[in-house]
Amino acid sequence: MTTEVLEVAPVMARPWRTIWFSPRRTMRELLASEVRPGWTLVVGLAAKGELSFTMAAMPTIIGVLQVVFGVLIGPFLLAFSGGWFGGQADPEEIRQSLAWSYAPFAVTAVCWIPVMLAGGGPVAPGQVDAPSASMLLKALLLFAVTLVYVAALLWTFVLQVITLAEVQHFSVPRSLGSIVVWMIPLLLLSMLT
C-alpha cells in the first residue's frame, strides 16, 4: 500500500514582517503561494504616508501619483527594460515586488499620528518671540519622524532593487540597471520643469 503526499503551496500571511530583512525569500514565497495577500493596503498606506509628509497640494498630489502609478504602470516598464538585462518576470510578478517593497514606507504613515496629534502651530523657534517647551518638543518630534521617513524611503528603494532582482531572476546590479534606465529620463524631465 502506497501513501500519497500532496504538497500544497504555502499561503503567505506574513510578508509585512519578512520583507524587511528577507526580501528574496519573501518574494519566492509570495510568488509560490496559491493565495497571495493583497498589496493594495501597502500601497494605500504608502500613499497616506506621502500625504502626511507635506500639506502643500502639488507635492502631495505628485507623491501619491508616483506611488500609485509606480505600482500600476511601473511593472510594464520594468518588465520591458528587465528584458534587455535578461529578466524573466511578467508585469504581475513585478507588481508584487514593487508593492511589497513599499512596506517600510507604508509603516511610516503610522509615525505621523503623533505629529498630527501634537497639533499645528509654529514649530520653528524663529516664528515666535520666545520658544516654549512644547514648541521644542514638537520640533524634536517632527525631526525624529522625518528621519524615520527618510530611512524608510531609502530602505524602500533597496527593497525594490532586491525584490526586482529576485522576480526577474538576475543580479542586483542588473536590477538596479533596469530601474536606472527609467529614472534617468524622469530626472531629466523633472529638471526641465
Q: Which residue has the higher pLDDT, 127 or 8?
A: 127
Give the integer Cα–Cα distance in Å for 189 and 177: 19
Per the rule left: phi > 0, alpha: psi between -120 and 50, beta: everything else, 121 is left
Looking up cell 520583507, which residue turns up?
19
Give per-residue pLDDT as tens, 108-155.
877 777 777 766 544 455 555 666 777 788 788 888 888 988 898 899
Which residues are within 8 A (CB) of 187 and not within 5 positions of it... i.e. 6 or more apart?
A: none
Give per-residue pLDDT as tens, 69-85.
777 888 888 889 888 89
Give per-residue pLDDT as tens, 60-70.
666 667 777 77
Q: Are 157 and 46 in contact (CB under 8 A)?
A: no
Give per-residue pLDDT as tens, 15-64.
878 888 888 998 888 888 776 667 666 666 666 555 555 555 666 666 66
